Amino acid sequence: MGKPKHEEHENHERWIIPYADMVTLLFAFFVVMYSISQQDLARLKNVSESVQEAFMGHKKGTPKNKQISISKSESSEPEVSNRFIVRRTANNQEIADEIKKQLEREGFDFVYQENVSPIQVKVDSRGVVISISGGFLFEEGTTEVQPQMYPILGLVADIIKGTDRLILVEGHTDNEPTVGSQIYSNWEISTLRATSTARLLIEQFGIDPKRLTASGYAQYRPIADNSTAAGRSQNRRVEIVMLNASTLDELKEEGTAH
């Protein structure tokens, strides 16, 4: 007589295996979705920054005459102040208008008083020219920029950093000989004032020195009549020129075209 067969008990917990598989798949799905959403946020941020740059956006409420701090980013490039961002594709007149607008916003509304203004912004064949009176930047017979004039150069530096253009810094004098100073000629004072301004743009405001060239022209490039006191005052100046070129090759091409 054979042994009675035991009935096999049905496993009521088999559902756990497919359920666990389903939970694992759902977890993986949501991880992927979360990762994609984070990438989209990063893209959205990049697009937002590009739009802000394209429309010359800047932060409001920046205190006037505030010293601009210089810091290095991971790419070792100077940090660009968010006060003024100029489109890299902006034309000369747009840049000139932006500089005038920012000067006026900072309280220098006299930039529109042509021919007598200590700060003039114009466009010529070289590019955008910011002309600053020597009597405004320097004490008589000296070559170091007065500290109270730093905010003006800081504003100009912010505009420069919003472009990739090469920059000329030019010193000019009137035709009067230097008197009572250790500087022997107008060649020296014009060159020293140009290099002093360029050095300040580099050391204080973080402009890449490879973009800058400084030179002095003494009294030989006047913009007014040296026979009058007003004319001589206009001729004593430092000009910061934002050239129509961002590389030496482009500069050569520009010179060849003219």
| pLDDT tens-digit readout, 19-43 | 787 888 887 777 777 766 655 555 5
Residue 97 lies in a domain: yes
The count of structural domains within the chain is: 1
Q: Is residue 48 part of a domain?
A: no
Structural domain boundaries enclosing 143: 92-257
Round to whole Å and give the CA distance between 20 and 248: 66
Among 124-128, 167-171, 182-186, which is the least confidently predicted range?
A: 182-186
Kindly state whether residue 166 falls inside one of the protein's structural domains.
yes
- The answer to whether position 159 is within a domain reads yes
> Of 7, 252, 16, 240, whose CA–CA distance to 133 is shortest?
240
**What CATH number does the domain containing 243 carry?**
3.30.1330.60
Residue 105 lies in a domain: yes
Please report whether residue 187 resides in a domain: yes
Whether residue 170 lies inside any domain: the answer is yes
- Alpha carbon distances (Å) from 145 to 18, 195, 198: 78, 11, 10
Look up residue 168 and give its two tokens.
């000329």
**Mean pLDDT taken over the chain:** 76
Global pTM? 0.63
